[in-house]
Amino acid sequence: MVGVEQWAEVRRMKRVEGLSAREIGRRTGLARDTVSRLLAAEEPPRYSRAPAGSILDPFKDWVCQQLQADPKVPSQRLRELAVDIGYAGGKTIFDAYVREVRPRFLVKRTFQRTIYRPAELIQCDLWEPSEHVPVPSTPGSSRAPRQSSTPRIRASSSSSVSAAANDTTSTSSGVPCPSTTL
């Protein structure tokens, strides 16, 4: 068989050098008919073989019918049933075909189950209530109320205590909040 390189060389000799088919045949060692065939070909020569049928081909429709009836039937069971009706092929080719066509017959899931392992996901709400929400103490919790760490400023006279000197001020809703102005 003539390769692509030799085909290109024959065409170059004819088109560039202007040699005759007889001279090209003499220089390359090819027959004149072969040279003529190569010059007439529009595409480079390539090896092509007619596709051979598979030993599984007669059973493909049957496999699809079985999977349509029960899409979860194991491939091994399908192969056992196919052997009973005359299948003589191998395990690998049968299982590969079943693996290829089974998704066509499975019912699609309409939900997505999400499972998270501990510490894999965290969820928190970034929300601050507009009013004070009292948290009742649970039985067994004996936690003392937290003391403010901001220093208190005392006024020199008890009658001239200003709101800035207190460690808490009142919001419009009447809920005390820590003072930020000193």
Residue 165 within any structural domain of the chain: no
Residue 162: what pLDDT? 45
98 lies in which domain range?
A: 57-104
* Residues 61 and 95 placed together within one structural domain of the fold: yes
Say whether pTM exceeds 0.95: no
Residue 159: what pLDDT? 45
> What are the beta bridge partners of residue 129?
none
pLDDT tens digits, 24-41: 999 999 999 999 999 998
Domain stops at, among 104, 136, 160:
104
* Residues 25 and 62 placed together within one structural domain of the fold: no
Residue 13 within any structural domain of the chain: yes
Residue 130 within any structural domain of the chain: no
Positions in the chain whose pLDDT score sits under 70: 140-182
